[in-house]
Structure 1
Amino acid sequence: MTSKKTALVISAHSADFVWRCGGAIALHAVKLGYDVSVVCLSYGERGESAKLWKQDGMTLERVKSERRAEAENAAQALGVKDIQFFDLGDYPLDMDRDAKFRLVDVIRAVQPQFMLSHSHHDPYNTDHAYATRIAMECRMIAQAWGHNPGEQVLGAPQLYLFEPHQTEQMGWKPDTFLDITDVWDRKRAAIECMRGQEHLWDYYTNAAQNRGNHFRRNSGGQAGGRTARYAEGFQSVYPRTIDEL
């Protein structure tokens, strides 16, 4: 059993991990010595690639290729150890039993200390909520001693839900703020790799600045809280077991 620290991100589309938890990825991969793996269940080729589809002569395979290249470049900027593309299609995203077991295999191979995925609800993009439902289902299967007996079963990694695009519509309530100031340049570089969705670059920069404000407020504010210019927010799914606050 390896003592290496690991984390796993399950992203519905190939850009989601960049916007929503790129700072957490870079902080853990570059600063804290984690091996971070990312699974992109789809490329987002049909529903999140409007800029590409507006180009003359665009094809589905070209869109997939460009989305993959963008995600690989972003992953490199963030220090991701391994990025995998399941290419399951989007709008809608759908996973059969074999695809679920494929994800279980990844979870068991990575043995993550924690996992990251989408909010429970997203009325604007059901692929996102579906990805998290699948992440929870596959986490459960990975913990089952009777699934592929003899393999190392999964422990109980926390699943953190990263920030959705329009939080007031998603029922997402962050209980954890992570200071990403030291790796912000890496996240911004990764954001700028996603050329097909340039309209989101400044949106997620502003989101990180706003969460930096929340970090400062919740770490003590003007009474001595730690300065944080950029942060990301997360909602934990499972109870946390701790020895001290």
Structure 2
Amino acid sequence: MTSWDGLNSAYFTLDKDDHIFNALVTSIVEHQLLPGSKLPEEALAEVFGVSRTGIRRVLQRLAAVQLITLTPKRGAQVATPDIDTSRDLFATRRMLECANLPAVVAHCQPPHLAAMRNIVSEEQQAHEAHDGAAAIRLSAAFHVQLQAISGNAVLTELVSQLTLRSSLVVAAWGAPWQQGCRCLDHDALLALLKKRDVDALVAQMHRHFDAIVGSLRFEPAGDTLPDFARIFAPFQATLPSKE
């Protein structure tokens, strides 16, 4: 099974700080810890059985990769990407991933296609099983492993880091049911890769990112009332009539 340590190997080593970092990254990017969630040092130290100093080191690392924010007096919170940052993240991914696709096609061999097919199959199974964490992980794996085919380790590492932050965008602005990318999009991308059709592959990747951004529900921040009429419409018919 593809895991986050496979997506971003630079972050995953064997000492205790790294294991705690690893656990927190996984919880954040798989939407177990949602944007805005507080991360109190004392509670985390107790859970992991380490000192608050050790937790502080890990939190500083998470802040360095922009997965959390550290604010004086308020402490640590899972980052909430703003609208501009969210759009910029996906615009950057679109530029990087599309620009590298000719190299991906040039280096692609049958074993690469088989590995990508396995990821798509596992992703579909995760969606069918309503396993949100696995669906998110495999969605990211598809993009990272696709770029890795090119042999460009620097670009692949950048895409890997951006997928982690992209997961925060989906958690902050996505629909409640949204779990990673759409499997059908990945299936279509894989089919075009197999055909070695560079132009069509680039065009499909552009459409894929447009669909992701289009599915995000950017709404102005502020204290606004929910749309109660919409939310409770299904219950209105069941209300007892007025006396």
The alignment's TM-score, normalised by the length of structure 2, stands at 0.25
Structure with the higher fraction of residues in strand conformation: 1
| Higher helix proportion (structure 1 or 2) | 2
TM-score of the superposition, structure 1-length normalised? Answer: 0.25
